[in-house]
Copies of this chain bind each other. A is one copy, B any other.
Amino acid sequence: MALEDFKFPTDNLSKTLLFLKEAGNLKSIIRQTFLKNEERFENSGEHSWHLILMAICLQKHANQNINIERVIKMLAVHDLGEVYYGDTFLYAVERSDASGEEKDALLTLIENTPEKLKTEITKLWVEFEASETPEAKYAQSLDRFQPFMEQLDNGGDSWKRHNITHKKALAKNKHISEGSKELWDLYQNLATQAEEKRYFHLEKEDS
């Protein structure tokens, strides 16, 4: 009793649908973001939707004129490598090596899709990772700001669990300013308030 029991035609439509079903497993990839209202950790599927909605609603706060269609498409595919590779926490030490393996995982996931689609998805994913175009920079800034709002709501859950200080959070997220200076100004304002509320891990006095 499974999708594999069905006979799909061997055309491009079916190939694409079978990939899309597999891609849906992104709903099982659990992130470090604790959703207070939901009383559980966020998954990468719903995270991707939330970023897309943010991209649409915050477009005028991007630094530059952007092609919103490409931003949204990037956000829709930016985590697909996780289906086979899993999520890497922003602050993880091994994160700098993750991109290559995540790309391999992406290529495995899309290997049976039609050539044109394969090229499109790969290009979007690479553009997001490279973070050089205005669209990618804006998308990346949303990818950082969305979990930040959840941390403000849940009392800094992942900052405390992973010993993230105020200073470290600012250093790791300052490139939000490359996508949206307005978002980065607000980030700093709210992070100062969070520090006063002791949401961050506290730095040792002698360090």
A53 contacts B76, C-beta separation under 8 Å: yes
B149 contacts A190, C-beta separation under 8 Å: no
A52 contacts B52, C-beta separation under 8 Å: yes
Number of A residues near B (Cβ < 8 Å) is 62
**A165 → B minimal CB distance (Å):** 19
> In whole angstroms, what is the CA distance A189 to B76 when docked?
29
Residue among B9, B49, B189 making CB contact with A45, cutoff 8 Å: B49
> In whole angstroms, what is the CA distance A48 to B24 when docked?
11
Which segment, of A32-40, A92-100, A168-176, faces chain B? Answer: A32-40
Which are the 4 A-B pairs with shortest beta-carbon distances?
A: A49-B49, A45-B46, A1-B155, A69-B69
Can you give 13 A-B contacts (C-beta < 8 A)? Answer: A6-B190, A6-B193, A9-B186, A14-B186, A16-B57, A21-B153, A23-B50, A25-B38, A27-B35, A53-B76, A56-B77, A72-B72, A72-B76
